[in-house]
Structure 1
Amino acid sequence: MAAGRKVLTLDSVNPCVKGARMAQSSPLVGALCSLPQGKEKPFREVIWCHSGDPHAAGRRPITFLRQVAAICAYPELLHADSMPRDAKQRASRILQELHSSSYVTTAVPQRVARYLEWRDGGIRCDPRNIVMCGGITTAIVDFLSLVVNEQDPRRAGVLLPVPGHPLFADAVALAGAVEVQYHLDEEGGWALDVGEIRRVLGQARGHCTPKVLCVINPGYPTGHVLSRRHIQDVLQLAAQERLLLLADEVHQDCVFTPDAPFLSFKRVLCELGPAVSSAVQLISFYSVSKGGGFRAGFFELVNIDPAIMKRFCSWGMSIYPLILGQVLLDALMEPPLPGEPSCRTFMAEKQAVLSDLAHKAQLTQEIFSQVPGIRCNPVQGTMYSFPRIQIPARAVQEAQALGLEPDFFFCQKLLEATGIVLAPGSTFGQRRGTHHVRVTLLPRVETLRIVLQTIAEFHSQFQQRYS
């Protein structure tokens, strides 16, 4: 971190991450607020490297998507010379469809279905199986509530990956189900281990009825992309054990490693043949809430019982998604075509985002791999790295005496010394005796490089202090 001290008040926090960002659930926000105000600190500014919000990091949505959404919000822009012809055409079509009540329930699902058919190499998608939602957070909570039958003498079990998104654990608790954790294989680059799932599945049947298997691809917060073989193994397991498969595929468009392409669970399922493809009930989620600035998404239902399908569809229509979010999703499902004015810019901006993430993922691994006591697996997708950090026994003891997780204790000391805010790995789950932090890849390369080097230097000092 650059040398120099500055009197820190909350007014000196970057305005892009102040306000709503200060209300985040992370306990480190409270730690920041508890720092004595008006006193000199050993850092110049607070750098938030725990957030997955591209906008807080200064990244704007792709131009074409913003243009279509802007025109729909302010139709007078249809006459603006600054707007390209194809953006006006897309927006004009959407504005005409908005006069009908079927825009969210029919028009957008049809374009989503065509997009999924393209993504999956021509595998048919029925738009009637697409349910629109305002992001997947509430969708997952309500979905699990439908799965749980309170009349059953044994509570329903939901298998969740560790590490994984805290949302799932919260949703399971709200639904009144039992969380059944299965650990990802850190030594194998955070790959999914079907043997581990079978092991915990057998144990869980002693105290609950496992009904749902949740998978996240690309992994959150690990950035691992599942291979075809691992997806096949999961699908065969779901068929054999009669588990409903819930696939969080939200970050599928943020895969940037050529030798680890994204494959949807639906595509691999259909390629396995009717013995498996007709036996697995699958629900997959997609969202543009992170990259677009609006909350919008959908989920696709595959092999779901018609009675359940009816309940999902009625639920989806009763909670009407925000229109501008659906407009953004609509524009993404049908991007500019070759020859249209916006196509070249759209493709260049999309590739620039992926190249930037790939470069920063490589930079993160290179810097951390040189630090004794830090291990960082390769990141193949998403916008985070999840390095493992060694914490001395004396620091673990001091953290426990304070009632803190050791990795939270590390993050708190890092914040106090450097102004860098990380997310402790315990937030996402981890094997007992291991400690991690989540580092976002969203800051500018120059900022991220300084952050990574500062973390490396602090970790070395932390090791010496508590050795």
Structure 2
Amino acid sequence: MATAQGTLGTPGPDLPQDCSSDDAHAVGRGPLAVLRQIVAACTFPELLGSPAVPEGAQRRARRVLREMDAGSIGGYNHDHRALGVPTRVARFLERRDGGVPCHPRNIVLCSGTASIFPFVVSLVVNEAVAQPTGVLVPVPGPPRRGAAVGLAGAVAVPYPLAEERGWAVATEALRRALRRARARCHPKVLCVVNPGDPTGHVLSRQNMEEIIRLAAEENLLLLADEVQQERAFLPGRPFLSFKRVLWEMGAPLASTVQLISFYSLSKSVAGESGFRAGFLELVNVEEGVTLPFQLAQSIPRPCVLGRILLDILMDPPEEGDPVQQALEEHRQALRQDLAHNAQRVQEVLGRAPGIRLQPLHGGARAFPRIQLPPRALCQARAQGLEPDVFFCQKLLEATGLVVAPGSEFGQEGGTHHVGLSLLPPAEVLERGLLTLTRFHAAFLREFS
């Protein structure tokens, strides 16, 4: 793909440089070899005993195959899905949450957040009533979340995150959104994303407690999108699950607030988006909602290979286990790389005129706010484009750099942002930051 000669800067390279995606492998992070080795040996057992597969990976593959029907991944393997993996997921969550109990029956395996989210929302939609169901969704937030709400037969109710407060969830803004929404829908669901995507924030305990109290007061089902949890990289702002905070708030909230949390293999330490696996945990959810999870055959389930990878990530660490040692080293390296890249993004963009960025705590993206001159806004409107889409197109044409327009995630009216990935290798991100800041300066000059 050749890029065109731009009006601002030099001709772009033959291939675009992607600094927009939160797909770890797509932006240049390699897979964890031991996971692929285990999957390969499970798929082709003739590799067991081969020097191409380390002994630790072979041992894990043999253990996986012992749990499979007739020792083969080619069967449906219902017990592995219904008993084996949920049990290990429950133990993983108990370790994560400091001992808060978790029962395997509350774990639902799925093929990823994007595919299961509309199904979850559909369970609270009542088509027999005149007013549609409302779902509060954060702005900015994950792309296409509002569209997924519509697919479920509900109405998306955007609520703005407080940019000047580090993208906190402002309960006063939530209440305003609720009041306005009741004229057109019946709000039943509150969706919260933590760590934030694309904003890079991690919610404080105090903010989470405020959200939980509001959900209790308004009788809202709380959907906690926590898929970026392993990408929280600042020790001073650790990830806390909504389940743990809810439990530690004690009665009556701990036993009454309904919560569904999401985990995804795509955004895990493995970053294996192509295997499409994840899970939900149901907390205090009434039987009318939980029963369809057990009965419905239409739930998008993970394939066996995705379940195997998910299962390996859930296993408890064992002294001297080379698989777990490799996983832990990979996890530490990921967080160190994200922390380093976040620091560089804040340093470089913090010096750039016309660009503002809130502190970064976790997740895979930064969401800097960019100044766009009035003449650029007029030209964008004349072309029928959102101003940040116009900017990103000009950036791509002139330099070959790909960043995501802020309108893809939603943003406060009159503000303009870009989504910038923290996942590329440091040298790639460094070039991207230099390109972005130089181009933005030239863009301001041309359109001022």
CA distance in 2 between counterparts of 1:435 and 1:382 reads 20
Alignment partner, residue 297 of structure 1: 278
Letter in 2 for 1:76: E
Q: Write out per-residue CA displacement over residues 138-173 of structure 1, whole angstroms, 9 at most, x where no aligned residue.
A: 100111122211111111110000000123201111
CA distance in 1 between counterparts of 2:148 and 2:327 reads 36
Offset of residue 335 of structure 1: 5.3
Q: Write out per-residue CA displacement over residues 93-121 of structure 1, whole angstroms, 9 at most, x where no aligned residue.
A: 22121215211111100000000000000
Which among 238, 244, 266 is matched to residue 261 of structure 1?
Answer: 238
Letter in 2 for 1:157: G
Letter in 1 for 2:45: P
Maintained 8 Å contact 1:84/1:341: no
Alignment partner, residue 249 of structure 1: 226
**CA 1:128/1:374 → structure 2, altered by over 3 Å: closer, same or farther?**
same
Offset of residue 43 of structure 1: 2.2
**CA 1:41/1:365 → structure 2, altered by over 3 Å: closer, same or farther?**
closer
Q: The residue matched to 1:236 in structure 2 has which SS?
A: helix
Offset of residue 336 of structure 1: 4.7
Alignment partner, residue 66 of structure 1: 36
- Once the two structures are overlaid, the 10-residue window that deviates more, 155-164 or 68-77, is 68-77
Q: Write out per-residue CA displacement over residues 315-363 of structure 1, whole angstroms, 9 at most, x where no aligned residue.
A: 3686442110110000000155222233433322221111011101110
Alignment partner, residue 400 of structure 1: 381
**CA 1:318/1:257 → structure 2, altered by over 3 Å: closer, same or farther?**
closer
Alignment partner, residue 409 of structure 1: 390
Alignment of 1:48 onto 2:18: yes
Letter in 2 for 1:73: T
Maintained 8 Å contact 1:225/1:260: yes
Which among 166, 169, 181 is matched to residue 158 of structure 2?
Answer: 181
CA distance in 2 between counterparts of 1:218 and 1:360 reads 17
Maintained 8 Å contact 1:257/1:381: yes
Matches within 5 A, 1:77-156: 77-99=47-69, 100-156=77-133
Q: The residue matched to 2:144 in structure 1 has which SS?
A: helix
Letter in 1 for 2:17: I
Residue segments in structure 1 that go unaligned for 5+ positions in a row: 1-9, 13-31
Residue segments in structure 2 that go unaligned for 5+ positions in a row: 70-76
- Once the two structures are overlaid, the 10-residue window that deviates more, 73-82 or 412-421, is 73-82
Letter in 2 for 1:361: A
Maintained 8 Å contact 2:198/2:367: yes
Which among 440, 444, 448 is matched to residue 459 of structure 1?
Answer: 440
TM-score (ref. length: structure 2): 0.93
Q: Write out per-residue CA displacement over residues 117-148 of structure 1, whole angstroms, 9 at most, x where no aligned residue.
A: 00000111010000001111110011112221
CA distance in 1 between counterparts of 2:418 and 2:322 reads 43
Alignment partner, residue 322 of structure 1: 303
Letter in 2 for 1:202: R
Which among 176, 196, 203 is matched to residue 180 of structure 2?
Answer: 203
CA distance in 1 between counterparts of 2:346 and 2:434 reads 12
Q: The residue matched to 1:278 in structure 2 has which SS?
A: helix
CA distance in 2 between counterparts of 1:178 and 1:344 reads 46
CA distance in 1 between counterparts of 2:246 and 2:116 reads 23
- What is the total number of aligned residue pairs between the two structures? 433
Maintained 8 Å contact 2:110/2:299: no
Q: The residue matched to 1:203 in structure 2 has which SS?
A: helix
CA distance in 2 between counterparts of 1:354 and 1:262 reads 12
CA distance in 1 between counterparts of 2:83 and 2:320 reads 28
**CA 1:317/1:170 → structure 2, altered by over 3 Å: closer, same or farther?**
closer
- Once the two structures are overlaid, the 10-residue window that deviates more, 66-75 or 377-386, is 66-75
TM-score (ref. length: structure 1): 0.89
Alignment partner, residue 450 of structure 1: 431
Maintained 8 Å contact 1:86/1:336: no
Alignment of 1:349 onto 2:339: no
Maintained 8 Å contact 1:105/1:317: no
Cα root mean square deviation, aligned: 1.7
Q: Write out per-residue CA displacement over residues 257-290 of structure 1, whole angstroms, 9 at most, x where no aligned residue.
A: 0100000000011111121112211000000124
Determine what percentage of the aligned residue pairs are the same residue. Answer: 52
**CA 1:319/1:395 → structure 2, altered by over 3 Å: closer, same or farther?**
closer
- Once the two structures are overlaid, the 10-residue window that deviates more, 102-111 or 376-385, is 376-385
Q: Write out per-residue CA displacement over residues 37-72 of structure 1, whole angstroms, 9 at most, x where no aligned residue.
A: xxx971224111122222122222223322222221
Alignment of 1:424 onto 2:401: no
Letter in 2 for 1:135: G
Alignment partner, residue 363 of structure 2: 382
Q: Write out per-residue CA displacement over residues 1-53 of structure 1, whole angstroms, 9 at most, x where no aligned residue.
A: xxxxxxxxx2x6xxxxxxxxxxxxxxxxxxx6xx59xxx97122411112222
CA distance in 2 between counterparts of 1:125 and 1:167 reads 31
CA distance in 2 between counterparts of 1:336 and 1:73 reads 24
- Once the two structures are overlaid, the 10-residue window that deviates more, 49-58 or 148-157, is 49-58
CA distance in 1 between counterparts of 2:301 and 2:323 reads 30
Structure with the bigger RCO (C-alpha within 8 Å, sep 6+) is 2
Letter in 1 for 2:361: Q
Maintained 8 Å contact 1:362/1:378: no
Alignment of 1:161 onto 2:138: yes
Alignment partner, residue 76 of structure 1: 46
